[in-house]
C-alpha cells in the first residue's frame, strides 16, 4: 500500500496500484532516515508531490499524518526543503531539479522503471 499526497492541492490517496507510475520526478532517500519518498508530478503541477510505502501503517492515523508531514517538509516552505541541498554536486533548487528530471524523462520517453520491476511492485509478477 502506498500513500500518494500533494501538499499543494491536498490530494490524498491510499492505493495498492500506482496511478503516477509515469509521472515520477525524483527519488528521495532522505539520507537513509525513514521510508523513502518517490516524488511525482501532481495534476495541480506540483513536481514534489510524494508517494510513501505505508505497509503496516494503513490503519495508523498518526503514521499517515507523519508521512504527509514528511512529504510536505520536502516541498517549498517545508522544514526539509533547502535549495542549497546538493545531489551529486548539483545545487539546483529541489523543485526545479524535479521539474527538469520530469521534463527530460517525458521528452526522451523514459519510464521510471523496467516493466518487470513495475509488475513486481504491483504484485503482478511472480
**Any domain includes 126:** no
pTM of the model: 0.80
* pLDDT at residue 30, rounded to an integer: 86
Q: How confident is the model at residue 50 (pLDDT cuts 50, 70, 90)?
A: very high
Span 13-24, pLDDT tens digits = 999 999 998 899
SS3 27: strand
Pick from 52, 87, 96: which is nearest to 72 by CA? 52
How far apart are the C-alpha atoms of 115 and 111, rounded to whole Å?
A: 9
> Does 117 reside within a domain?
yes
Tally the domains of the chain.
Answer: 1
Query: Is residue 58 domain-resident?
Result: yes
- Full residue range of the structural domain in which residue 83 is found: 2-121
54 domain residue, yes or no: yes
Tell me which of 62 and 119 has the higher pLDDT: 62
Give the per-residue pLDDT at 31. Answer: 79
Q: What is the H or E stretch that residue 4 is in?
A: strand 2-5
C-alpha to C-alpha distance for 106 and 63, rounded to whole angstroms: 33
Name the more confident of 27 and 119: 27
Please check whether residue 44 lies inside any domain of the structure.
yes
Which residue in 12, 3, 101 sits closest to 54, CA to CA? 3
Q: How far is CA 79 from the centre of its chain?
A: 17
The beta strands (E) that lie in 6-126 are given as 12-15, 24-28, 37-40, 49-53
**Cell numbers representing residue 65 in the block:** 499524518
Amino acid at each position: 500500500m502506498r500513500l500518494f499526497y500533494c501538499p499543494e492541492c491536498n490530494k490524498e490517496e491510499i492505493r495498492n496500484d500506482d496511478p503516477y507510475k509515469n509521472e515520477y520526478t525524483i527519488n528521495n532517500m532522505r539520507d537513509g532516515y525513514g521510508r523513502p519518498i518517490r516524488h511525482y508530478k501532481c495534476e495541480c503541477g506540483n513536481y514534489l508531490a510524494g508517494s510513501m510505502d505505508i505497509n503496516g501503517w494503513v490503519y495508523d492515523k498518526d503514521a499517515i499524518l507523519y508521512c504527509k508531514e514528511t512529504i510536505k517538509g520536502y516541498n517549498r516552505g517545508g522544514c526539509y526543503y533547502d535549495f542549497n541541498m546538493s545531489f551529486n554536486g548539483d545545487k539546483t533548487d529541489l523543485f526545479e531539479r524535479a521539474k527538469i528530471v520530469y521534463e527530460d524523462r517525458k521528452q526522451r520517453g523514459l519510464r521510471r522503471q523496467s516493466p518487470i520491476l513495475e509488475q513486481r511492485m504491483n504484485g503482478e509478477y511472480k
